[in-house]
Amino acid sequence: YGRRFFPYYTNTIITGLDTDGKGCVYGFDPVGSMTQQLYACEGSAMPLILPILDANILGKNTSKPGQVKRTKEETVKMIKDIYMAACE
């Protein structure tokens, strides 16, 4: 009752496969609006993770901008490295 005027806000990310078997990412804001995204991150580590994702997925702030193609193994390694960076 004490937080009725100050509710907790959540930004939710849902990932999975679409009907064609391709990966998809959806983001939901606190009021329920949904957007499909290429990648997403939320939470207290977002300021650390988002620049890494920008550089590794879109090639932002690199000498070769544009979407970067990776193998499944390279993608899994990148995600593990990003999680380790966020945990430190």
- Residue with token string 């907790």: 8
Span 20-68, pLDDT tens digits: 998 899 999 888 899 999 999 988 889 989 998 988 888 888 887 788 8
Cβ–Cβ contacts within 10 Å for residue 12, how many? 13
- Please choose, from the candidates 22, 88, 82, the residue with its C-alpha nearest in 3D space to the C-alpha of residue 56: 82
What pTM was computed for the model? 0.73
Q: Where are the domains of the chain?
A: 1-40, 43-88
Which tokens belong to 1?
């009752």
Which tokens belong to 59?
């090639």
Tell me how far apart the alpha carbons of residues 70 and 56 are, in angstroms, rounded to a whole number: 10
